[in-house]
C-alpha cells in the first residue's frame, strides 16, 4: 500500500497549517510556505514574518520543515498561540488547506504526536503515515492517547500528530483558506487581489 492508497482509503481530504494574518500575507507574497529556518532569509517576509511558536529549541534539528496537521489543526497548540503567545497582538488567524497529495512528496516525515514531545516517533513513507492512526500513541512517559471507536478514519489518533514537509511548500498545492469572520475574509481577499492569487476563501467559525 502506498501513501496515496492510504490517503484514498482513509478519505483524507486536506492537510492544514495555521498562521496569523502577517503569516498568510507573507505566504501569499512569497508564493510558498517556508520552514522556520528559511523565514529570515526571504526578502518578501523580512518585515512581516512572525513565528507561531516563539520557542522551538526542543526540536531545533527539525527547523527546516514546515509543520502541518491532517484533517484538523493541532487545537492545543493553536489555542496557546492565540491565547498566550499572540494574545496582545492585533490581527486575525487563517488556516491554509493543502491537497493531501503533498504527503506523497519526497522527504516528507510523519510524527505520531507533537514533534517536541519526548514520546514522538518519526517515520516516512506509507508505514509512517499509517502509524499515525495506531490504537495507542505515547506523548511522553505515562501519557498515552488511545484511539476511540468514534475517531474518524481520516483523523490521526493524537490530534497533535504532524506532517513535516521539507524546506518550502508551494502554494500551487493550496486548495482553500479558512477564516473566522466576514471581516477577516474581506481582508484576506484584498491581499489575494493585491498579489493576483486566485484562492478560495471560506468562513468557518467553528475552526477557530
CA dist 156 and 147 (Å) reads 8
Q: Are 72 and 162 in contact (CB under 8 A)?
A: no
Single pTM value for the model: 0.87
- Give bridge partners of residue 168 from the DSSP assignment: 34
Rounded to the nearest 10°, the torsion over CA 202, 203, 206, 207 is: 50
What is the DSSP pairing of strand 174-179 with strand 109-111?
Answer: unpaired
Q: What is the pLDDT of residues 125-174, one digit of tens each?
A: 999 999 999 999 999 999 999 999 999 999 999 999 999 999 999 999 99
pLDDT score recorded for residue 75: 84
Positive or negative, the CA dihedral 125, 41, 186, 189 is negative
Q: Which runs of consecutive H residues, i.e. helices, occur in 73-124?
A: 75-80
How far lies 123's CA from each of 57, 128, 198, in Å?
21, 4, 34
Q: Are 12 and 100 in contact (CB under 8 A)?
A: yes
Q: Which runs of consecutive H residues, i.e. helices, occur in the chain?
A: 3-9, 21-30, 75-80, 125-131, 182-194
pLDDT score recorded for residue 7: 98
- What is the residue extent of each domain of the chain? 3-207
What is the DSSP pairing of strand 65-70 with strand 15-20?
Answer: antiparallel
CA dist 162 and 113 (Å) reads 6
pLDDT score recorded for residue 48: 47
Q: What is the pLDDT of residues 182-207, one digit of tens each?
A: 999 999 999 999 999 999 999 999 99
pLDDT score recorded for residue 52: 52
Q: What is the pLDDT of residues 29-87, one digit of tens each?
A: 999 999 878 776 555 544 444 545 555 555 667 889 999 999 999 988 887 876 555 45
Task: Give the position of cell 512528496.
Answer: 105
Neighbours of 105 (CB within 10 A): 12
pLDDT score recorded for residue 83: 57
Q: In this structure, which topology does domain 3-207 adopt according to CATH? A: ADP-ribosylation fold (3.20.170)
Q: SS3 helix, strand, coil % of the chain, rounded to 5?
A: 35, 25, 40
pLDDT score recorded for residue 40: 61
Tell me what the mean pLDDT of segment 10-32 comes to. 94
CA dist 42 and 81 (Å) reads 23
Amino acid at each position: 500500500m502506498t501513501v496515496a492508497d492510504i490517503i484514498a482509503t482513509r478519505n483524507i481530504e486536506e492537510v492544514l497549517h495555521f498562521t496569523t494574518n502577517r503569516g498568510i500575507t507573507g505566504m501569499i507574497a512569497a508564493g510558498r510556505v517556508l520552514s522556520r529556518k528559511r523565514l529570515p532569509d526571504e526578502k518578501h517576509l523580512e518585515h512581516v514574518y512572525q513565528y507561531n511558536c516563539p520557542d522551538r529549541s526542543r526540536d531545533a534539528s527539525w527547523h527546516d520543515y514546515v509543520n502541518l496537521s491532517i484533517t484538523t489543526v493541532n487545537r492545543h497548540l493553536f489555542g496557546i498561540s492565540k491565547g498566550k503567545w499572540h494574545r496582545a497582538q492585533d490581527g486575525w488567524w487563517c488556516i491554509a488547506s493543502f491537497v493531501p497529495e503533498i504527503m506523497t512528496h519526497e522527504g516528507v516525515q510523519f510524527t505520531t504526536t507533537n514533534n517536541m514531545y519526548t514520546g514522538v516517533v518519526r517515520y516516512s513513507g506509507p508505514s509512517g503515515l499509517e502509524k499515525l492512526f495506531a490504537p495507542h500513541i505515547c506523548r511522553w512517559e505515562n501519557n498515552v492517547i488511545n484511539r476511540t471507536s468514534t475517531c474518524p478514519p481520516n483523523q490521526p489518533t493524537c490530534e497533535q500528530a504532524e506532517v513535516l514537509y521539507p524546506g518550502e511548500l508551494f502554494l500551487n498545492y493550496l486548495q482553500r483558506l479558512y477564516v473566522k469572520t466576514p471581516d477577516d475574509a474581506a481582508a484576506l481577499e484584498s491581499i489575494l487581489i493585491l498579489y493576483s492569487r486566485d484562492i478560495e476563501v471560506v468562513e468557518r467559525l467553528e475552526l477557530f
